[in-house]
Structure 1
Amino acid sequence: MRRDLYHEALERGFLVGHPDGGPYLLDQDGFMAAMVDLTNPAAYAWYGQVIGAMPRTGGWMADFGESLPFDAVLHDGDPRELHNRWPVLWEQLCASVRGADEFVFHRSAWRGSRAAHWAGDQLTSWDAYDGMASALLGMLAGGVSGLPLMHADAGGYTSLPQPVIRAHRDTELLLRWCEWCVWSPVLRTHEGNRPDENAQVWDAGAAPAFVQQTRVFRELAPYRAGVVADDLPAIRHCWVEVPGTEAARRDDQYFFGPSFLVAPVLEPGVTGREVALPPGRWVLVWTGEEYAGDRVVRVRSLIGQPPVFHRAEDATAADLSRRIRAL
């Protein structure tokens, strides 16, 4: 049975109010939307029942949560004081109806958030302004800002058809984005806002490589479980692990947990990149080749094999790397 949730909430007085009276309607680029007043206990309970009754297949994306207007009229509280805490209320509501085996991820957060978050709707492009490189920067910044479980839409989301600013996802961008997201808390693809205009993981040109990437992600599951249980961010800027080194001065490589140094390929049409190795001995996961550290090296990188290293003395990481090479 179809429900008119907007009018249900409106008739019960469950919506965030406008100072001029009536609900506060927000422009969502083509349609208007209202917000449920999470400070109203009855509205909170009603919305939880709505979400809890929806059919689900393992979890959901808890989008938005950051748009409480400063002049809103609430059941309880000052919107200027609640604006930054609103994402936490939204997170708590979703957590209250989430099943034990369900995965929920959010876009907004504030101090005290612990749920998984993603970096927003990046362009389907390579650039650091709002493309793949910006997703890495967002994950690094989020990690040191209290968001330990950051990830991104692998492949990006927003495509732009305009001739002046054009963003389009080809197979290379899609696979290069996926290959480093394998070395993160979450590997999650997105078909994007214009699916027919962009490469997809099920395309003939992408599927075999993507399947192999998912095998690596699966092999990393025990290690990943330990990483996400840690109090430190899963995606760590190098200065967290190796402060004072050349690696710590770079924003284009990171540690996935304590063991693996990852250097994503962030440019199109290249077959390798430079990596700043910290002091010590380092082993390239894909080949088992050992490198002397405390220097910058150039590493060949085929699709599906971004430069990923572990410390030579790390027996657990070495065993995991051998299993990955055997896939």
Structure 2
Amino acid sequence: VDEGYDVYTEGRDGGLFCRNTDGTEFHNVVWPGMCAFPDFSNPQTREWWGRHVEGLLDDGMAGIWCDMNEPALFLPLSSTIPDDVVHPGGGRARVHAELHNTYGSLMARATREAIRRARPNHRPLVITRAGYAGLQRHALQWTGDNSSWWEHLWMGIPQLQNMGLSGVAWAGGDVGGFFGDSNGELLARWTEFGAFQPLCRNHCAKGFVSQEPWAFGEPWESVCRKLLKLRQRLLPYIYSTFEECHRTGAPVLRPLLYDHPDDVTTYTLDDQFLLGRSLLVAPVTRPGIEYRYVYLPEGTWFHFWTGERVEGPAHILAHAPLGEPAVYVRANQAVPMWPEMNYVGEKAADPLTWVVFPADGGNESWLYEDEGDGYEYLDGVQARRRVECNGSGDTVLVTLGARSGIYEPARTRVRLEVRGLEWAPSVVEAAGAPVEWEAADGSVIVELPDTAGEQRIQLFR
């Protein structure tokens, strides 16, 4: 509330703010001082808000972060707008009690609509703290101001599973904790969890110990670097999982019960999760330990780091030293990975690597690709590829299906990395002819030209 602030005076003169029951503007204290609160139930307010968002974009902003939008007040501390405050609504007045749950979503909607108008050829980036059912149409969400406690590291796991089941797939918690002083071990273990969250973001409040990945020195810095690099490598898998979510509603980060509804053991698991269909992640959530119990549902699973094979259903004691969280891969489901890079676009994502742990039987996985921004995918500028892996005793057959769609990825090579084999191949064939291969760190690696057509790679004992 500042007579010299044109954003405020425009809103005041237009009657765009919430009001007390006596008709005066409702004011309360937040970070800038005394504030008025936009009535986002009013279409005119959303249009006015959007004009100012467009101004920020003109100044170079890449996205908008909607914070404190429960809305939160300072008087009294941690309170919200009273139930009887009036939202004029552009002619359809309602009290806040009717609109409280939708306030944050309406703010996110107004912000997203403004970005779409200003940048019609780009996908909007809106982050919000508050929201309601359907929020995922407008913004991604983080879990709010957590604290640098081991209990809050654990709490983030059921939080994100519940958010995924509620339709809010693009979500994450503040890695390392927001309030309080973090420490090296807590940050490293939280980063091990954060690398597999749909939204991976380290964030903390002013006035506390800095918690950048390098803040606590070794060995914590190397652990954070290793997991963040793995996160970057997994982006084609994560992106494909997001596309599945966009198309079907399937959560990106999901409880085990989602894929195993007949397994009653999965109903109460609150400290492990699936990232997509292929990866099972069980973070360490207590200090000073490097073993934890993990439940693996029906099927064959492989330890991501060692290639150890486990037949589910099984309760196991998993070794999870710093830098190697308990991550298991479903057998015969190939996981697409980029080359190691520090940030998206640092270099060409060439070759694309398919990592697969074969076992008897078969399974399939998918890769989805498009430009990564814009809306040409709606006109068919996209590509899909199905990958099948079939194991039968002394042979493994991996079929890279023909690529469908008109999008053409800018890469020239594809790499198959077969892990967890209990035997060494005598020959490897592609399209029925022997090809060169190499063995490295227990893996069999084959690299081929990337083509749009089907490619069949077979390993023989």
SS of match in other structure, 2:251: coil
Q: Which deviates the most, 281-290 or 16-25?
A: 16-25
Query: Counterpart of 2:163?
Result: 142
Alpha-carbon displacement from aligned partner over 1:106-143 (angstroms, at most 9, x marks no partner): 1112122213111111111111xxx2112222111212
Query: Counterpart of 1:118?
Result: 142
Q: Which deviates the most, 7-16 or 272-281?
A: 7-16
The 2-side partners of 1:29 and 1:316 are apart by 45
The 2-side partners of 1:4 and 1:125 are apart by 42
Query: Counterpart of 2:276?
Result: 257
**1:101–1:214 CA distance, 2 compared to 1 (3 A):** farther
Shift of 1:83: 2.3
Q: Of Structure 1 and Structure 2, which has the larger fraction of its residues in strand?
A: 2
Of 256, 262, 265, the match for 1:246: 265
Alpha-carbon displacement from aligned partner over 1:231-276 (angstroms, at most 9, x marks no partner): 1111111111122242442100011111111101100111121101
Native 8 Å contact 1:126 1:266 kept in 2: yes
Query: Counterpart of 1:163?
Result: none
Of 304, 319, 328, the match for 1:309: 328
Query: Counterpart of 2:127?
Result: 105
Query: Counterpart of 1:18?
Result: 20
**1:272–1:7 CA distance, 2 compared to 1 (3 A):** farther
Query: Counterpart of 1:226?
Result: 240
Query: Counterpart of 2:176?
Result: 155
Shift of 1:101: 4.7
SS of match in other structure, 1:176: helix
Q: Of Structure 1 and Structure 2, which has the larger fraction of its residues in helix?
A: 1
SS of match in other structure, 2:145: coil
Q: Which deviates the most, 116-125 or 284-293?
A: 284-293
1:200 aligns with 2:212: yes
Q: Which deviates the most, 5-14 or 25-34?
A: 25-34
SS of match in other structure, 1:85: helix
Native 8 Å contact 1:117 1:147 kept in 2: yes
Query: Counterpart of 1:164?
Result: none
Alpha-carbon displacement from aligned partner over 1:71-96 (angstroms, at most 9, x marks no partner): 12222232333222223211211111
Identity of aligned residues (%): 27
RMSD: 2.6
Alpha-carbon displacement from aligned partner over 1:196-243 (angstroms, at most 9, x marks no partner): x24322323444332222211111111111211211111111111122
Q: Which runs of 5+ in 2 are unaligned?
A: 72-80, 337-352, 357-416, 420-440, 444-461
The 1-side partners of 2:252 and 2:82 are apart by 32
The 1-side partners of 2:229 and 2:292 are apart by 24
- TM-score (norm. length: structure 1): 0.86
**1:56–1:182 CA distance, 2 compared to 1 (3 A):** farther
Shift of 1:40: 3.0
Shift of 1:35: 1.2
Query: Counterpart of 2:85?
Result: 72
Native 8 Å contact 1:282 1:310 kept in 2: yes
The 2-side partners of 1:291 and 1:210 are apart by 27
Aligned residues: 313
**1:11–1:30 CA distance, 2 compared to 1 (3 A):** closer
Higher RCO, Cα 8 Å, sep 6+:
1
Aligned-partner residue type, residue 211 of structure 2: A
Query: Counterpart of 2:253?
Result: 235
Shift of 1:27: 4.1
Q: Which runs of 5+ in 1 are unaligned?
A: 160-167
1:58 aligns with 2:72: no
Rg comparison, structure with higher value: 2
